[in-house]
Structure 1
Amino acid sequence: MLPWKRVLGPLAALLLAATAATVPVTAAHADTAATGAATASASSSGWNDYSCKPSAAHPRPVVLVHGTFGNSIDNWLALAPYLTVRGYCVFSVDYGQLPGVPLFNGLGPIDKSAAQLSAFVDKVLAATGAAEADLVGHSQGGMMPRYYLKFLGGAAKVNALVGLAPDNHGTTLSGLTNLLPYFPGAEDLLSAATPGLADQITGSDFLAKLNAGGDTVAGVRYTVIATRYDEVATPWRTQYLSGSNVRNVLLQDLCPLDLSEHVAIGLFDRIAFHEVANALDPAHATATTCASVFS
């Protein structure tokens, strides 16, 4: 075996492991029946309940968009209930599935994933009767919707996009992707096997198209919530967007004691959740501090 082939396997494993950090491995990953039960439980509690009708206080449904290797349940076990008890109609989408790879989603070509999101938003709007939705995404789920907004007509159907640690300008995976050029065929292998991962690497053709001509589109409010301890969407400052309709937020500016990294910011950080709520209802926003963990 050629020396570079001996290294390529571990390198690919490192890339997958680093990106997989966006979602925890839970019992639901290992057991399809458990995921089905979780979905039923979510629906009964008001999450993914297609009979939900938005209120005057919260007139837009919220669509949650999971990250790479995630799914519509595991990524949102904390944030979805957080929003439903505050009166929102909440829905979560699965996207980016690969044949033969159950439960671990977000691996397919991102432009195709954006088309899946488009169809899901249409479904939610039809069920709720709302004219627009708000989107909240973690990691790839905070970046991928920008393709929908920019190229698939989503700007007419979306009021706000909130990204939790979104890799808006790609990621180096803490420098791991810089090693790819040293292994002939590695980039082609990654693109063929998991195009959703390849699309997220800094400098990819997908990201060049997404960010050409500006980060945002008119008519949509953008919020980016980042942590300086992010080890997946790196460098963390590249998560920020530019534009007059953008608010970029660093968790540590709100609470210096917040040590959340890429996983925690999307899965259970209530300081981040408080900022999500502020972004969804800016007219009633309240100051986010370290005490927001109790709100």
Structure 2
Amino acid sequence: MLTARQGPLPLRALPALLALLTLCLALPAGAPAHAADRAAARNPVVFVHGYNADPGVWGALRGDLRAAGYADAELFSFGYDTHLSVNEVLAGRLGAYVDQVRRETGAAKVDVVAHSFGSLVSRWYVKFGGGGATVDRWVSLAGPNRGTSTAWACALWDQACRDMTPGSYVMRNLNGGDETPGAVKYATFWSNCDEIVNPDDSVPLTGAANTPVGCLKHNDLLGDDTTSAAVRAFLAS
């Protein structure tokens, strides 16, 4: 320990002292840098709502993702006319929207979270519209991935309903061959009390992480805390 009689610090000791001071000043900045790295590595999320719905259905899940660290600038909701054709119109529009998100964020890929009919729109984009190269993770909440008999009720006058019927052109092509093609990571969440998707097991896909959520109504998957936590875990995997 220096005393008054020992005099000033020798000049030869200054470089070591300056190096130690520089290291100490750099340490507090380490944590924010790591957080920035994690945020930079995270994909933006594109939400795709279901039939007769709009982007407002994503309020709960968007809030949960914000609480988990996502910024509003990383969360995007694709809004569209749900009465149009999956393959002829909507998948292409979704592809254009994803390209716009990628330009705005600088991200190479996005994660897609779809509900109900939105699962078919986004699956067609992934399988046939170039989305295999731009989608990293794909999530289907209560998607009628093999069709639903309830769609017959509106199939006479509505193209989207016809696309959702079992055995339709869209169903035959989406489920022909590999149901989960490419390097995309797939996950589905389904309920055994779904009043819209019939049969209930229309949702799971071969090659996906298929998670039963218990007895929930079709739209309840959008606000269920357990389902939300599982979706967040999958996006972080």
- Range class of TM-score, shorter chain: 0.7 to 0.9
After TM superposition, the structure 1 = structure 2 runs for residues 227-266 of structure 1, keeping only pairs within 5 Å, are 227-243=191-207, 246-252=208-214, 259-266=215-222
**Map of 2:140 onto structure 1:** 163
Q: 1:80 aligns with which of 48, 62, 84?
A: 62
- Work out the number of aligned pairs and report it: 197
Query: In the alignment, is residue 211 of structure 1 matched against residue 175 of structure 2?
Result: yes
Alpha-carbon distance in 1 for matches of 2:95, 2:66: 22
Secondary structure at 2:62 match in 1? helix
How many angstroms apart in 2 are the aligned matches of 1:56 and 1:120? 26
Over aligned residues, Cα RMSD in angstroms? 1.7
| Structure 2 residue 75 is the aligned partner of structure 1 residue 90 | yes
2:187 is equivalent to residue 223 of structure 1: yes
- Secondary structure of the 1:136 match is strand
* 1:201–1:55 distance in 2 versus 1, CA, 3 Å: farther
AA at the equivalent of 1:262 = H
Aligned counterpart in structure 2 of residue 272 of structure 1, from 213, 217, 227: 227
Quote how far apart the aligned CAs of 1:56 are.
Answer: 3.1
Query: Going by fraction, where is helix more abundant, 1 or 2?
Result: 2
Question: Which of the numbers 54, 66, 71 marks the counterpart of 2:54?
Answer: 71
Sequence identity percentage: 32
Quick check: which has more Rg, 1 or 2?
Answer: 2
The residue type paired with residue 271 of structure 1 is T
Cα distance change, pair 281–230 in 1 and its aligned pair in 2 (3 A): same
Amino acid at match of 1:216: T
Aligned pair in 2 of structure 1 residues 55, 153: CA closer, same or farther (>3 Å)? farther
Match of 2:83 among 72, 85, 107: 107
Distance apart, 1:164 and its partner CA: 0.5
Q: Is the 8 A contact 1:66 1:140 kept in 2?
A: yes
| Matched AA of 2:123 | R
- Residue 118 of structure 1: aligned partner: 95
Please tell me the residue identity of whatever aligns with 1:76. Answer: W
Q: Say which SS state the counterpart of residue 155 (structure 1) adopts.
A: helix
Amino acid in structure 1 at the alignment position of 2:45? V
Long gaps (5+) in structure 2: 1-34
Which secondary structure does the structure 1 equivalent of 2:211 belong to?
A: strand
Ranges of 4+ aligned residues in structure 1 off by more than 6 Å:
none
Residue in structure 2 matched with residue 45 of structure 1 by the alignment: none
TM-score, normalised via structure 1 length: 0.64
Q: Is the 8 A contact 1:55 1:87 kept in 2?
A: no
| Aligned with residue 57 of structure 1, among 14, 17, 38 | 38
Q: How far did 1:72 drift?
A: 1.5
2-structure distance, mates of 1:209, 1:261: 28
Q: Distance in 2 between matches of 1:260 and 1:150?
A: 29
- Which amino acid in the other structure matches residue 86 of structure 1? A
2:86–2:120 CA contact under 8 A, matched in 1: no
Could you list the runs of 5+ residues in structure 1 that have no partner in the other structure?
Answer: 1-53, 98-105, 181-185, 253-258, 283-295
SS of aligned partner of 1:63: strand
